[in-house]
Chains A and B, each alone.
Chain A
Amino acid sequence: MLTVLNQMSMKLESRSVNEGFARQAVAAFLAQLDPTMDELNDIKTVVSEAVTNAIVHGYRDRLGYINVSVRLLEGRTVEIKVRDQGCGIADVAQARQPMFTTGDDTRSGMGFTIMESFTDRLRVRSSPGHGTLVTLTRTLSARRGAQA
């Protein structure tokens, strides 16, 4: 087990206006690791994907809470969890396929593909009727003068 050096969590209502807040808040928390602009952009993108999925799919027809938590682990590893108590995913393997979507015409089924290519590891645990937990892990490049 990697040592946890720092962590934060937040609870948001599933309103689309919170998508921007969630990715900005995670980025601000990660500033202590002095990530590169590209690393920060990748992380903002995957947070946006996971939070948007919770809003548009998990809580398709109602308002609910989304938990976003970030843990900074030794070795500059960042672990982000996005959890909802929404409708869940019946077939996760199918949902992770590129271009698979159950959404409307504003969705293209590429969210999981983007999360996968911008992280080192994407884990999706879901239970229909109970909700979904997405865990995104990314190790940042070594930087001189940065902590850990």
Chain B
Amino acid sequence: MALVNVKTKEVQVKIVYYGPGRGGKTTNLEYINKKYRERLKTQMVSLKTHDDRTLFFDFLPFDVGKIKGFQIVIQLYTVPGQVKYNETRKVVLGGVDGIVFVADVQLNQRKRNIESLNQLYENLKTHQLDLFKMPLVMQYNKIDLKNQNIPIIPSRIMQKDLNSHLKAPAFEASALKGGNVIPTLKRIVSMTLASIQDELF
């Protein structure tokens, strides 16, 4: 839930990057952090295992400025990908306002994408949240691999696999090279803010 401090007029919005492990969630945040280093004035916090995988989560907060007198603070989180960390994933999802589902377009990841999305639905339910009613953006990541002769899933199939029911806006992306990372982020931020605009502004 978006937290609003009526006294200080500050709004905190929590956006979680969710998806199968190694899909590129951390890479999304790292790109954002690098690109807007000067502007963010905040630090990215990464809690990593020794082999460079997300242990608990990554966290990148930043202040986008004022909208109608409210100071807007966006907090980006990622969840750990490994199957065994599902409890942590649930905790990180607590109070979420918007979700970017980062799917991996490599052909051999197809089932894991679907499973991860199904799990997201279940995990949100434990917080009494309904994925179908959440601001959500799909990201089909690692699209750059098509130039490296790695079999990838055509986006039409990605849409069918993941977006048949949700019908969320979707982006092909390359988090590694920065392709469509920012458009994805802008989209989820604006959807999320729009979802609370009536009550707030």
- Genuine A/B complex: no
